[in-house]
Amino acid sequence: MKQNSVYDCQIIKLPKIHSDAGNLTAVNNSSDIPFDIQRVYYLYDIPSGAERGGHAHRNLHQILIAASGAFNAVLDDGENKKIVTLNRPDYGLMIVPGIWRELNEFSSGAICLVLASEKYDAEDYFRDYEIFMDVKS
Ligand code: T46
């Protein structure tokens, strides 16, 4: 995680099956994304102006998808920052371990769907930015 940079966090184009009645995206472990999914969660009912995140992970790989609406992910590896706008349900942002992230600019009704490589573990989080920076340096 020490060496990972914001440039290792890339957009992954997910499959999209078109239909006149709407579109469908299916995500298959390992073939459509580079890890097996152990957990799915989603952020919703997000009030205007709210921010989420404000932490980094030791081991967790995640893919963030704007299942509805739009939001920004602000990525920080301790040296470089990158802002990614997510606004398409068939695009996922892969976030590797060791990246501080903040989510903001949620549109009304936005849903942030997250595919995660591990089950929830509170010990996997850095929630103090100074400690995160110490580990990265
Ligand atoms: C991330 C962003 C995008 C659980 O009990 N189980 C879970 O799987 C998760 C993710 C959270 N929680 C509990 C822990 C806290 O008491 O839910 C509460 C809110 O979690 P947190 O403050 O971490 O929420 P966000 O939206 O700031 O961050 C979450 C993920 O934790 C994080 O990995 O990248 O969504």
For the chain, what is the mean pLDDT? 97
55 is catalytic: yes
- Tell me the mean pLDDT in the region 52-63: 98
Binning pLDDT at 50, 70 and 90, where does residue 105 land?
very high
Binning pLDDT at 50, 70 and 90, where does residue 30 land?
confident
Report the separation in Å between the CA atom of 120 and the middle of ligand 1, taken as the mean of its atom positions. 8
- Tell me the mean pLDDT in the region 59-82: 98
pLDDT above 70: residue 1 = no
Report the separation in Å between the CA atom of 52 and the middle of ligand 1, taken as the mean of its atom positions. 9
Residue nearest to atom 15 of ligand 1 (CA): 122
pLDDT above 70: residue 51 = yes
Binning pLDDT at 50, 70 and 90, where does residue 48 land?
very high
Pocket test residue of 37, 39, 40, 55 for ligand 1, highest count of atoms within 8 A of CB: 55
Please tell me which residue in 18, 55, 57, 61 is annotated as part of the active site. 55
Q: Is the CB of 120 under 6 A from ligand 1?
A: yes
Q: In what order do the strands lie in the sheet with 91-95?
A: 11-13, 91-95, 62-68, 111-116, 39-43
